[in-house]
Chains A and B, each alone.
Chain A
Amino acid sequence: SQQGEEDPQALSIQEGENATMNCSYKTSINNLQWYRQNSGRGLVHLILIRSNEREKHSGRLRVTLDTSKKSSSLLITASRAADTASYFCATANQAGTALIFGKGTTLSVSS
């Protein structure tokens, strides 16, 4: 079963604009991760934010976590055409072993 729900499902922006994707989850978590998947490819780990963290930065990525609302957001600043991909949030399953992925947001950045 899926844990997270991302919105929007699809997002189209111009190069240079910022892209914000949101993820909501259902159960308590130890951490939440964001991944990127280029079409037909494997997953690339972007960033992990722990439950005791509220915000984390990595390059042009900014992730926030609100455990009271069970939600997280991924902000990509100054987007590039190469950022075109699907983005997924993921949290651990109940056993704490495997990852449960959200439905994902498909981002399209046009130049």
Chain B
Amino acid sequence: GQNIDQPTEMTATEGAIVQINCTYQTSGFNGLFWYQQHAGEAPTFLSYNVLDGLEEKGRFSSFLSRSKGYSYLLLKELQMKDSASYLCAVTDSNYQLIWGAGTKLIIKP
């Protein structure tokens, strides 16, 4: 079966750095997405990786290793507004998006 694994919850301190991991086993691979979802709101797109390596976008970076079926989202200089759930999703060989259950990130002052 197809599976996306990410930690259920993480806690970090304001101003620090946090890395949220995602591992996947899917039938084929056509790209990996990270979305942010604040409580009670819609998921919003953060990043997309299809080739190995690091994609940097301001305070957020996303890394992909296709051979390891692994990605991480790196958040720097954490702010209280970064408290949210972070969803990892993989496009499989049929171009269907397979979603992880999300990682709830709690930022403490």
Do A and B assemble together? no
Report B's interface with A, CB cutoff 8 A: none
Report A's interface with B, CB cutoff 8 A: none
